[in-house]
Amino acid sequence: MYEILLKQDLVPNIHLFKVVAPAVAKKAKPGQFVVVRIDEKGERIPLTVADWDEKEGSVTIVFMEVGTTTARLALLKAGNSIADFVGPLGLPTHIEKFGTVVCVAGGVGAAPIAPIAWALKKAGNKIISILGARSKDLLFWEDKLRRVSDQLIVTTDDGTYGRKGVVTEPLKELLASGEKVDQVISIGPVVMMKFCAKTTEPFGVKTIVSLNPIMVDGTGMCGCCRVAVGGKTKFACVDGPDFDGHQVDWDLLSARQRIYLDEEKCSFEQWQRNVHPEVKAHGKAKS
């Protein structure tokens, strides 16, 4: 069992867990993920490592409540334990001195991009970050990204904080301004990563995206995470999750992500009907 050392509610629907997982902490690299299962009957879900501390033997994950498993996870508290915490999985993000790298994060993507930005900074890159959220109350880790960035631009869709609009607008302006950008890395909702890639393509700037298809085993066995990149079939869990955004078949990814929508809705409604005993059980937890 993997004990939760710390829980923080970053915004109402996004939570941070620091989990005791020394073997994962020892090997984790930016861009990798873990597969988490709450209990023996639970579904396996992939979550990216947002931070780790080899000395403490802990790994930090940040997750957004979107359905049954993430809502169940959100009910856990410090002192509770998770049955499985497998990783680190996937290929680490490629880090080298590129020159100037623009890190674009949307919503919960701020968490996985933070360690990548730090590693790129340590490798000698100039970091320009663009952080976007729908609204001010859904923004988190602005301070963390500001610390690692030479320049930070914050956007909110509704204009409640920072610049009003979506992340692709400042990205396009930056590229058009003549600023020499050597690479863009974009992590967030599929639609955001797709439009970041579409924005950079005419400028010929390599754009890395972290793909999030449905995964089951996370080790290349089930084929569930199949994506098409450059006309070739890839398994995001072992060949990625990072890929060249200009080569990704975005329509296929979006369609495959929606395959189980009816089952997911049904599962969530069923769980909500039964939520009270579960809340009571978790209420008995240590803290």
Ligand X SMILES: Cc1cc2nc3c(=O)[nH]c(=O)nc-3n(C[C@H](O)[C@H](O)[C@H](O)COP(=O)(O)OP(=O)(O)OC[C@H]3O[C@@H](n4cnc5c(N)ncnc54)[C@H](O)[C@@H]3O)c2cc1C
CA distances for 238 relative to 71, 223, 241, 247, angstroms: 27, 10, 7, 17
258/265 Cα distance (integer angstroms): 11
Closest distance between ligand FES and the C-beta of residue 219, in Å?
A: 7
Burial status of residue 42 (CB atoms within 10 A of its CB: 0-12, 13-18, 19 or more): middle
Rule CB under 6 A: say whether 67 interacts with ligand X.
yes
Our finding on whether 64 is near ligand X (CB under 6 A) is yes
Residue 66 touches ligand X, criterion: CB under 6 A: yes
Residue 117 touches ligand FES, criterion: CB under 6 A:
no
With respect to ligand X, which residue has the nearer C-beta, 68 or 100? 68
Query: If we measure between CA atoms, which residue out of 132, 237, 144 comes closest to residue 187?
Result: 132
The site partner of 45 among ligand X, ligand FES, none (C-beta below 5 to 8 Å per kind) is ligand X
Question: β-strand 84-89 against 33-37: which pairing, if any?
Answer: antiparallel
Taking the complex as a whole, the smallest distance from the CB of residue 16 to ligand FES amounts, in Å, to: 24
Binding of ligand FES at residue 243 (CB under 6 A)? Answer: no
Using CB under 6 A as the binding rule, the residues of this chain from 39 to 58 that contact ligand X are 43, 45-48
> How far, rounded to the nearest angstrom, does the alpha carbon of residue 109 sit from its chain's CA centroid?
4
Q: Which is nearer to ligand FES, 76 or 216 (CB)?
A: 216
Cα distances from 235 to residues 140, 161, 188, 192, 240, in angstroms, run 30, 38, 19, 21, 7
Closer by beta carbon to ligand X, 46 or else 162 = 46
Q: In the bound complex, what is the minimum distance in angstroms from residue 27's beta carbon to ligand FES?
A: 19
SS3 content of the chain, % helix, strand, coil (to 5): 35, 30, 35
Window of 171-179, 194-202, 217-225, 278-286 that interacts with ligand FES by CB under 6 A: 217-225
Total chain residues near ligand X (CB under 6 A): 26
Stretch that binds ligand FES, among 152-160, 171-179, 188-196, 210-218 (CB under 6 A): 210-218
- Per CB under 6 A, 257 contacts ligand X: yes
Q: Token digits for 150?
A: 């030479």
17 binds ligand X (CB under 6 A): no
Residues within window 169-228 making contact with ligand X, judged by CB under 6 A: 212-215
Contact status, residue 32 vs residue 87, Cβ threshold 8 Å: yes
How far is C-alpha 122 from the geometric centre of its chain's CA atoms? 21
* Interface with ligand FES (CB under 6 A): 215-218, 220-225, 235, 237
